[in-house]
Amino acid sequence: MLRLGEAGVIVAYSCGMPAFIPIASRVVGGENAKPHSWPWQVSLQIIEPGRQIHVCGGTLIATNWVLTAAHCINRNRKYLVYLGKHNLKKNEPGSLGIKPEKIIVKEDWDPTRVRNDLALIKLSQRVRPNNKIQPACLPPAGSILPNRFFCFITGWGRLSTGGPLPEVLQEARMPIVDYATCSRPNWWGSIVKTTMVCAGGDGNVSGCNGDSGGPLICRPGRVWQVHGITSFVSSQGCNIFQKPTVFTRVSAYIDWIRKVGVCMLKQSAGGLTFSRQFTSQPRKAHPVYPS
């Protein structure tokens, strides 16, 4: 999508290339994100009489589709999807609150074992990408990042176990923990499956309550890709040593995302463009809780 920018310069908006470059620093424990530097970040809010409450994050992956966690969805709740937000307590120019047209939870979502923890939200209207709202790219199907590859978690989750909720979007740098390591008995053991991806585990940086559904965002090339959906942490706390944050691995579900009918982004000689093609198609045995 193109627009005429200042001085007549044509600006192209595509996936995974924010207009405001992220800080992307190595700070331990996370920090305030630069405003609108993660333009695909979504705040999923529930609607209650006289107020709206942030409950989960999400990732814009097309002009009318948001990716989030299945455990964020309650059929008895009414939701509003906020895009273009930085400070949840302020009215911000350019931000949008859009009602879902429909919500599709993965049909084999298993809340007991926290497997297949993903859902898609179709927005009731398409958004026009701009410098504050833009989709993230999806990774290639089946792709797995190497151990210690650095990614970022973003969200409005608690700053520590039982701690306060931030007003502004947070970002934290986290290394990928490969499956061989994450599935060791003294890490997550058999709870972790190959359809998941782990990151963190140093006891300092992690996801926490309120980050659920948001992205593990990585840049293996020139664009940012959403490689994970924040799923769960340890019941002992958010930032426990050798209990990294566990994410649903997005690359394991690309076929399902296509079958739902999401308008995908494709690589072309001229860059990334919107495709017009739609597809038709011993504490306890389970010491986890949704983050």
- Assigned domain for 188 exists: yes
Is residue 71 annotated as part of the catalytic site, yes or no?
Answer: yes
- Assigned domain for 226 exists: yes
Is residue 36 annotated as part of the catalytic site, yes or no?
Answer: no
Print the domain residue range for 195. 31-260
- Assigned domain for 282 exists: no
Task: Exactly one of 14, 117, 206, 227 is catalytic; name it.
Answer: 117
- Assigned domain for 288 exists: no
pLDDT in tens, 166-206: 999 999 999 999 999 999 999 999 999 999 999 999 998 89
How many structural domains is the chain composed of?
1
- Assigned domain for 280 exists: no
Measured distance CA(279)–CA(268) in Å, rounded:
18
- CA neighbours closer than 13 Å in the CB half-sphere of residue 132: 12
**Cα angle vertex 25, ends 83, 33, to 5°?**
25
E-strand spans in 136-224?
150-155, 170-177, 196-199, 215-218
User: Residue 86 belongs to a domain with what CATH number?
Assistant: 2.40.10.10
> How large is the C-alpha radius of gyration of the chain?
18
- Assigned domain for 49 exists: yes
Pairing verdict, β 79-83 and 225-234: unpaired
Task: Exactly one of 36, 37, 71, 211 is catalytic; name it.
Answer: 71
**What letter represents residue 134's amino acid?**
Q
Is residue 117 annotated as part of the catalytic site, yes or no?
Answer: yes
| pTM assigned to the model | 0.86
- Residue 28, number of CB atoms within 10 A of its CB: 11
**Cα angle vertex 189, ends 185, 190, to 5°?**
140
**What letter represents residue 64's amino acid?**
N
Distances (CA, A) of 285 to 112, 158, 196, 268, 288: 11, 26, 18, 47, 9
pLDDT given for residue 164 in this prediction = 87
- Assigned domain for 176 exists: yes
Task: Exactly one of 14, 37, 183, 212 is catalytic; name it.
Answer: 212
pLDDT in tens, 2-59: 443 334 344 456 899 999 989 866 554 678 999 999 999 999 999 999 899 999 999 9
**What letter represents residue 285's amino acid?**
A
Structure tokens at 120: 């898609």
Measured distance CA(189)–CA(24) in Å, rounded:
31
